[in-house]
Structure 1
Amino acid sequence: MEEGLNQLKKHLFAMRPLAEEEWNEMAGIWQLHHYKRKTILTAAGETERHVYFVLNGVQRIFYIDAHHEATLVFTYPYSFSGIADSFLTQLPSRYFLETLTSSTLLRTTHTQIQQLMDKYRNIEKLISTFTSFALMGVLERQVELLTFSAEEKFRTLLKRSPHVLQLIPHKYLASYLGMDATTFSKLMATVRI
């Protein structure tokens, strides 16, 4: 748990340092949880009550309906996980969050985060900064999905996160890139970085 909190502190302080009292209270709201692979942490229709900090394992956020399944986000050490829009608005999620591998996560609740934001302006600013960077990432990804060719999407993924080829099943990577498995396989065989 201590090493996990050290990683969380490093991650948070890179965005916005906290005073010792603020950090001590922030550190006190997280609990360590272990999950088996293919565990649904949040289902569509549920309201996201938790935010997670990934210590080990890979998770994905995905959308599914009668005709489609689309992987939207992968999370892995050391990043935050959870259905962000549902967590922030406390409205039901349209998405699922599942563990792709066995996972070790730090977890806290919306209520605990909200209480710290109400108590400390600096923590409120930290959450705002984090949310701003998350939104920036979503918009960058939209540009990639809407304007990049299949090969450009593949190359961008490999430049940004080359380790995912060994961590994540290729069918989920293909879905994340908005292409079918055949196209993904062809790119795996032909594209060299």
Structure 2
Amino acid sequence: MNHQKLLLQQTVNHIHPLSEEDFEDFYTLFKPYTAKRKEVLTQAGSVEKYLYFVLEGLQRLYYLDEHHREATLVFSYQANFGGVLDSMMNQKPSRYYYETLSPSVFLRASYAQIEELLINKPAIEVLLRKGLTGVFSGILERLVELQCFSSEEKFQQLLRRSPHILQIVPHKYLANYIGIDPSNFSKLINSIKM
């Protein structure tokens, strides 16, 4: 089994194990795709067409308001699914951008093909539901952090969830994710015992 397929299967098994046949049917939907650094894969206002599986690289999902202020919402990196999931599942225009922060290698499947497979493969529908439930749980945790935690507590939570994040995400994006000015980020790092 090639490395890409194995990585996808390990991630799928962590969410909801599939039979060999169901996994093969799911895997055949995914095609290789590469993107350059700072490439916008999904624009606000467009409908997400793909489910991405990250093999290499770093991406972010962000919101841009009418004053051109950005809010980084989510990072994706190796062995994560990515894309604008609400737009894909609802087939409605996205309010968010999905962009690469580094050169990236993906496997990606079109939503139309996934939708077709869901009709005949209930286990894949369960996989998708469990995956989305996990995403929803993460969003609720993040809302609590945003409303109740100090910047230091938000940063500590982020490091607990993703201890390697400091090595892969540029600090200006981490500062944006936490909601502080980038100039204060180095003070925050120095104030926390790691």
1:39 aligns with 2:39: yes
Kindly state the Cα deviation for residue 162 of structure 1 after the two structures are TM-superposed: 2.4
How is 1:70-109 mapped onto 2 (pairs within 5 angstroms)? Answer: 70-109=71-110
| Aligned positions of 1:37-186 closer than 5 A | 37-67=37-67, 68-186=69-187
What is the CA distance between 1:183 and its match in structure 2? 2.7
CA distance in 2, matches of 1:158, 1:11: 21
Structure 2 runs not aligned, ≥5 long? none
Hey, what does 2:10 align to over in structure 1?
10
User: 1:115-137: per-residue Cα shift (whole Å, max 9, x none)?
Assistant: 11101111111111111111001
Runs of 4+ deviating beyond 6 Å: none
Stretch of structure 1 that moved more, 20-29 or 72-81 = 20-29
Counterpart-to-counterpart distance in 2, 1:157 and 1:14: 21
Counterpart secondary structure, 1:38 = coil
Amino acid at match of 1:88: M
- Cα RMSD between the aligned structures? 1.2
Deviations 1:26-64 (A, max 9, x none): 111100111110010000000000010001000000011
How far 1:166 moved relative to its partner?
A: 1.9
**TM-score, reference length from structure 2:** 0.96
Question: Which is worse superposed, 176-185 or 33-42?
Answer: 176-185
Structure 1 residue matching 2:32: 3-state secondary structure:
strand
Percent of pairs with identical residues: 45
TM-score by length of 1: 0.96
